[in-house]
Amino acid sequence: MTDDNGGRFPETEGTDDPFLDPAQLGRQWHEHAVLFETLLDEGRDEELAAVARDLAPGDLSEIVRPLSFGDTARVIQLLPLDLASDVLVEIDKRSVGVLMELLSIDAVADLIEEMPSDEAADVVGEMHADQAREVLAAMEPEERDEVTELLQYDPDTAGGLMAKEFITVDKTAICLDVVKAVRAMDEDDREALHFIYVTDEDGQLVGRIPLVEMLMQPWSTPVIKVMEGDPHHVEVDLDQEQVAQFVMAHDLLTLPVVDADGQLRGVIHADDVLDVMEEEATEDFGHFAGTREDLGETSPLKVARARMPWLLAALVGQIGCVFLMSHFEDALAKVVALSFFIPAIMAMGGNTGIQTSSVVVRGLATGEVDVYNLSKYLIRELATSVMTGGLIALCLYVVARLVVGNEGLALVLMVSMLTVIIFAAMVGTAVPLLLHRLGVDPALATGPFITTSNDVMAIVIYLGMATLMLKGGAV
């Protein structure tokens, strides 16, 4: 296999299952990255290749992360084909797109053919349409057909997650037929083989056989006597987040995927589910922060563009707070000390809302929170906020008495703080649950919406209560 410069990927293999010290990974990745840069600058390609071949694909992907795309492409071209393919799978999607432009179409096709079908489909799916067509045309027919089939499914569904590396046998087969099928399977594809799937004459999934259990049977045993009937499965159009929840709930290593007719189309592996969980967590974290920017994005302009709409939304909310405070100008003028505690009231409301909503969103993501039992969580958070808010309000009362010496103001602060914390806890609990019921991503609730709404209500509650007590002569 050739690259743009006419070179060939080495045929030699790296050591089996190498790894770095798990207690020193960060430091060792950095040291290897520095070493790679030095070897590349000095043109010591053979020495670099020898070092790289003794590393695991996961470690190599982290080591080349700080390198330029050009240097990363040079490293990949020095690796054996199977190792280069594994490293390419581990590199983030944004980098893959650039690396594909630095390699020839034939080189890319050979790399993709070495990947599991689901990973290959992900890589091809990230390419521009013209480049994807050229790469697919250069691939072997069998691998091309598998990737083409997987590309027809939405990448965020079970069909987009599944792989084509699995074995099926007819329900009329015997265990010897299974053994023959396993032996005929490609060596790399056997690494993730845990179950043999049994289908009927129409290709519909009817059972599965644990590989170990099958090996314990006489070869003449019919598979229908060994198989586990009606195995767990999902349909191709199920959302990936629901797939992850299903796998976690049932502790599955593999999950077969069927079409609307019940015919087996692919298998999802547990490591793919872990990738989904990481992707969903990253997306939710971005929502918590009020932005959807790519964490791997290095362009300041693109990062600023992703953050600006949310910051502007927060600014609008805070300007609203300014207008609200102007309506309480008389109260602030009469008792200047009222303004001293506005930041504390607003901050505690915002913190409580973020804490509560973060717990709820996490519970929704992991399936620990029942979205149809809203009252249960509201009652729990009400009790919690009364206890925490009561203690904080009492502390604030003591501080206000010592600092300001105004009994009325101290009472206003205590009651306001308690009310604001209770309100923030209720909003932080109810909004994510309601959004989830409406089919909206609940992580959105923990961005500027909750913090701004809590700020507004904190001012209304605090200064509104102070105004009423001023009119009554209590402050």
Per-residue DSSP letter, 163: B
The C-alpha atoms of residue 241 and residue 439 are separated, in whole angstroms, by 13
Q: Is the model more confident about 81 or about 385?
A: 385
pLDDT at 171: 92
> Distance between CA atoms of 111 and 108, rounded to whole angstroms?
5
Left, alpha or beta for 251 (phi > 0: left; psi -120 to 50: alpha)?
left
Q: Strands, E, within 171-298: which ranges?
A: 195-199, 205-210, 228-229, 234-235, 254-258, 264-269
Query: Could you tell me whether strands 205-210 and 264-269 are parallel, antiparallel, or unpaired per DSSP bridges?
Result: unpaired
Question: With 0-12 CB in 10 A as exposed, 13-18 as middle and 19+ as buried, what is 344?
Answer: middle
Domains, the chain, ranges and CATH? 22-152 (1.25.60.10), 168-270 (3.10.580.10), 300-471 (1.10.357.20)
Structure-block tokens of residue 221: 């045993």
Q: What local confidence, expressed as pLDDT, does residue 444 receive?
A: 59
Residue 17 scores a pLDDT above 70: no
What one-character DSSP code corresponds to residue 405? -
What pLDDT score does 263 carry? 92
Q: How far is residue 11's CA from residue 110's CA, in Å, rounded to a whole number?
A: 13
Q: How many beta carbons lie within 10 A of that of residue 100, not counting itself?
A: 23
Q: How many CA atoms lie within 13 A of 83 on its CB side?
A: 27
The winner for highest mean pLDDT among 9-23, 177-191, 357-371, 437-451 is: 177-191
| pLDDT, mean of residues 78-90 | 83
Euclidean distance between CA atoms 325 and 380, whole angstroms = 33
pLDDT of res. 68: 84
pLDDT digits (tens, 9 = 90+) for 264-308: 999 999 888 887 877 766 666 555 555 555 545 555 776 667 667
pLDDT for the residue numbered 6:
40
Cβ neighbours of residue 191 closer than 8 Å, sequence gap 6 or more: none
> For residue 315, which of 455, 411, 181 has the smallest C-alpha distance?
455
Pairing of strands 254-258, 234-235: parallel
Looking at the predicted structure, is the pLDDT value of residue 200 above 70? yes
Query: Could you give the angle at the alpha carbon of 405 between the alpha carbons of 399 and 410, nearest 5°?
Result: 55
